[in-house]
Structure formats: structure tokens, C-alpha cells
Structure 1
Amino acid sequence: MKRTHLPLNGLRVLDAAARHLSFTRAADELAVTPAAVGQQIRALEDMLGVVLFRRTPKGLELTPEAEAGLPALRQGFLEIEESVRAMQAGQSSQHITIAAPRDLTAKWLSARLADYAAENPSVQFLLVAADEALDFTEANLDLAIRLTSDAQGYEGAPLDEGRFVTVAAPSGAADGVIGWPGCPQEGGAILIRVADAGLAIDAAAHGFGRASVPELIARAEIASGRVVQVANSDKAGQGYWVIAPLPQWRQKKVKALVAMLTA
């Protein structure tokens, strides 16, 4: 019989009825009616082509066919329970794997994860660089953070309002623009191109010119005085989103971390 055709519910009823030798007590255990137990047993007998119980003056008795199958059935249920426990162990695991852009990790995420770990010392993080070919299963990810306009078909929540700011060195901006992949278009000649918004902030701090970057990762640099904001915040249509498939999103450890990151 194919696994997809296994009558698992009927076999569960059989196990309970065999242990109690009573449809009534089996029904109490399973929170169903005795009639439902009887229907399941009759359906199972029809499918298997064997009689499983006989009624005698002394009560319900197992047939030899039922007795022959019960040891393997009960061992199978024990192994299924062990399998379920193994799968659920991931829920209690405090290892969280996050894929995030390198600049966001350096400028914003690492500090928050450190604060979270200080309050939750059993938590351990594995940070990997996000790339375009995001595969949660292959990379065994719990969460990913992307600079995007939405959750990209996953469960998700925005980390910010998607605002960009233009920053420059405190001594004044050079006559040029610092470009990076995905940066908003801004008037002026591109003086230097860098790999990401974090490097654009660094280049601005060194006096290379103005950099339009996500406000989220510029806040700490502005607050420290390393760069200054030279233009008002502007909606850019994209912001940082924390995303995950539904199974990962439902995990308690993920919910707790997302709540902290989006607070």
C-alpha cells in the first residue's frame, strides 16, 4: 500500500480500541463518539479485508490478524512521535540565521542584534550576506532583510518608512555625487561609484561628494557627526523589509526578533 493511501486515522483508532478493548473508552480518549470509533474500525476492516475485533460474551476481543499487526503499528506510532519531536526541536532552538545586506548589517543590524543577545543570552545568530537568488530552504534561513518595495511574496514587515536622505562630510560636500547600485537619481556628476549604501556613506564622510542613502543606515552616522544631512528625507519607493516564508515566520524565536527589529 502506498504511503499516501495509509489510513492513519483509522489506525490510530485501532490502536486506542485495542488498548482499551472498548469502543466507548477509546472514544473518550480520542474525544469522539463510540459510533465514530465503530465507523472507523469498520472502514479499516473493509480497506484491509480482515476482521479486527470480535464481540464475545466477555466483551471485545482482538482477532489474530489484529494482534499480528499491532506491535509494528505501535512501534510506528512511537517513531512518528519521535519524528515530530525532532521537527519541533527547531522551534526551541535559539539559533537564528539571517540574510541581510552587508551595509545594513554593519551600519544598523549588528548593534541591535547585540542588544537583543544581551537580553537573551541563549540566542545565537548566524549572519550571511543577502543576494538576489534568495533561497530560504537551501540556505537554511530563518529571516532575510531586503531593500525592496514590498515583502516579495513572503510574510514580512517594513523596518522603516522607505525614506532616503542625502549626506555629505561636515566640512562640506565636494561638487559631485556618490553612486551605488540602486541609489536614487540625483543631479550632479557621479564622482565615484561604490558597491553599496554603506560605502557611499563612508565616501561621503571622506569628502567625495553627496550620497543619497536609506535613512535607516544613515541615522547613527548623522547622530555621531561623521556626516551631515544636506537634504530633507524623501520617499524613495523602497525600504528595508524583514521577510520569511510562512513556516519560518510563525516560529516564536522569529516573531520575537521581528518584534524587536520593527519596534
Structure 2
Amino acid sequence: MKAENISVRIGSKEILKGVDFKAEPGQVTAIIGPNGSGKSTLLKALSGEIQSSGRISLNGHEITALKPWELAAIRGVLPQATTVAFPFSVHEVVRLGLANGLAAEDDTLPSRALMQVDLGGFETRSYQNLSGGEQQRVQMARVLTQVWDTKDLDQQRWLLLDEPVASLDIAHQIIVLCIARDFAAQGGGVVVVMHDLNLTALFADKVCILSEGKVWASGTVSAVLNNETMQQVYGIDLPINTIPAGGMPFVLPQSMI
């Protein structure tokens, strides 16, 4: 995935200002930055959801040249929030992704995807009666069914995730990000908008920091997440790898990946 000189204007406000971005299959690329920096807008532009100036290519094809069904076959998109107005069951919601992917003949995928997100046995439950975190995981399962097969080397599959762990407890944050990590390990590409810098450092291969609609820095986690960049982008002293003073406890997630 490659974006060159991407600009997005909404009304009189320019949200993205000449952004260059690149993500590779087999890697997790995180987009971070303060509120209002353009993270979600960039992800929407990369997915083809909104129009932008510049050039965006996916698997070597400009996304503007791809038909909607061609895009849906190679990239699944998880937005920050999804509204379901009808009284669908969990299985019906997840199967919406299956209908848009290339494995529609395999009706076992919704249940398998629900198992991955720790919702096994929820198929007949009403989506409307789930908690916010459970609904978010159902949506993650929907996206997984859409791009389930990462082994088709002719067309790399992509997960585009906008704050996928924002409403989840710490255990399910790790579960969802391990799913993303495993998807990349199988050859798929993952682009994920994140706020939690510790989880970003733990799971991302590359990081792109946005500030005021521009790319401030991009590269490996160790190259990008440093004291100077954090202070400049977030406007506060944010020492990296420093134990809090006074014996204050802190939790640093450590997965088994």
C-alpha cells in the first residue's frame, strides 16, 4: 500500500496536507498522533471511503481504478463505530463480511471468526443486546471473514483498523492485536490507528506519527518513539522507558507473541 501527496479537505478545512504513507504486506503499520491530527481521515482515504487528491495504490493498483467489489475482496475496514439499525443476530452481522469476500461459499467462517475474537457461541445472540466491547469484537469478526484467506499471493489481503481496541478491556485488547499480528505473520498487511503508545510499541513493525494533518515522523518503533518526538507532537514531557517516581505502580502489557 502506498499513498503519495494525499490531501483531504472537508468544507473549508484541510484535514490532510500532502501526506506520504507506505505499508508493507507482512507488517503491522500503526498510525498515531494527537486528537484531530488526521489519523481516521487518512485511514478512510487509504480504504477508498472518502475522496482525496494525490495517488493511493493497493497491491499495485490505484484504488480509484478498482470497482467496489474488487476493493472489498482485498481489504476489510473496521471503523471506530458502526451503527446497526436492524435487529440482526450476531451471525447475521458477521456474515455481512463473508458476503463481500472471496470465501462466501464457506459458511463456517463466521463461527470461526467469532471464536478468534472470544465470542464463540454468540451466533444467535441479538447484536443490539451486546455491550459496546462485544459489538466491537463482532465487527472485528465481520472484517476477518471478509479477508480471511491471506494465502492468495496474487492479491494480498489487508486489514484497515481504526482504533480497534478503544472500547475493550486489556485482555481483549491483547487478543485483537494478536489477531492483527497473526494476520501479518501469514502475509497480510495491517494498518491500524492507535492511541495507546505501549500497545503500539508492542505490536507494530512501523509507526507513522501525524500532527496537524502532516507526517511528523515515520519508521521503526525504536526510531520514532523517542522523548523529543513525543514532546514535539503531544506537547508534554513524555519520557520513554522511565519508571514513575515514588514507587507509583504502572502496567506495561506484555503479550506472548
Q: Same fold (TM over 0.5)?
A: no
Name the TM-score class by shorter chain.
under 0.3
TM-score, normalised to structure 2's length? 0.24
Bigger proportion of residues as helix: 1
